[in-house]
Amino acid sequence: MKLLFMACLSPKTGNCTTAERIREHIEAAGHTCVLRDTADFKNPEDVADLIAEEKYEGALAIHLYKSGRLLLDSCIPFGIVFGGTDINEDVKGETKRPVMGQVLQKARFAVAFSNRLKEEAETFWPFHGSKIYVQPQGIETKAGTCFNWRSFLRCTGIDNENVDDLHVFVLVCGLRRVKDPLYLVNVFSEWHVEDPSVYLIIIGPEIDPLFAKEVELNVKRARGVFLAPERPQEELHAAMRRSFALVNSSVSEGMSAAVLEAMHLGVPVLARNIPGNAAIVIHEDTGLLFSNPQEFIELSKGLIREPALREQIVCNARAYVREQHSREKERDTYQQLLQHLH
């Protein structure tokens, strides 16, 4: 089968990574899957013309509104994957929600990354619940063996010889407002003054150049907080593995790959208590959830004081990821769902 796959393909974003992984699953089943960026099309008519010209037999799209609406004029069967922000944010828009409902009605199947996302969608479109399947994102980590932690810290700006005595927290995200990397900077800076062994490193690409400049200026004024450019995946995972904990401070998440990767690597997670994070992080079981900066500091101090709690969280999180976020299970699910497009 020749498939068109529509997604928002802004470089170095979660949507882009997810789309590439799903495309690999589809092609592994012997199908042809052409991945296209929704930004390349102005309206549904453009996509309908492309489908007719290229003779696509089916389609798949990530995000009910941004991508799904572009398939409304198509005459081929398609499936939809919830992007997270569509159900968390876009559904609140009075003009977007009806369009999203039309997309879901026409789709042969839909995929939600979590039970919570499925349940949320069903509150708006209860008659389409039977076509919504839950398939968490599959995770694979590759931590490089040739990694010098001391050198990495020095390049970041942390020139401390006693690296084994440090508690380095890492926040991995593209620099854009929805990830809110500045949320903890001030309180962390105050904590570092109180305890010079704690550091926060924000690692990620500049997605929004203007906002990235704002982040850079704020970090320069902070004590114990550093900004590092993006790293190759293996080096990033190696840095995460050597860190004390991974932090997520996003305003909204579909399903954070960085959080899942940290769990898989055996790194405890402290995540902002938002629906997307709470769907995969169970407080004091597979991670820690905080609702404000002060609570983040309190929980972090507790994690340092209680090695047994840290070990318990790491053990539970690893077991959770192995069971629920297998790439093999994800591959099988998408390959089976494609049968709905015949």
Q: Which amino acid is present at 160?
A: N
> Residue 199 pLDDT > 90, yes or no?
yes
Sequence-separated (6 or more) residues with CB below 8 Å from residue 139: 257, 260, 261, 264, 321, 325, 327
Q: For residue 256, which of 317, 300, 331 has the smallest C-alpha distance?
A: 317
239-262 tens-digit pLDDT:
999 999 999 999 988 789 899 999
Q: Where in the chain is the domain with CATH 3.40.50.2000?
A: 2-138+326-341, 149-324
Cα separation of 79 and 77, whole Å?
7
pLDDT digits (tens, 9 = 90+) for 272-306: 999 889 989 999 999 999 999 999 999 999 999 99
Confidence of residue 8 (pLDDT cuts 50, 70, 90): confident
Question: Does domain 149-324 bear CATH number 3.40.50.2000?
Answer: yes
Tell me what pLDDT residue 143 has: 67
Return the sign of the alpha-carbon dihedral for residues 164, 167, 172, 175. Answer: negative
For range 71-79, the mean pLDDT: 94
What's the pLDDT score for residue 11? 65
Burial class from Cβ neighbours inside 10 Å (0-12, 13-18, 19+) for residue 127 reads exposed
Domain 2-138+326-341 has CATH 3.20.20.480: no
Strand-pair partners of 196: none
Q: Rounded CA gap, 304 and 278, in Å? A: 22
Residue 149, pLDDT above cutoff 80: yes
164 has pLDDT over 90: no
CB contact at 8 A, 59 and 51: yes
Residue 13: pLDDT above 70?
A: no
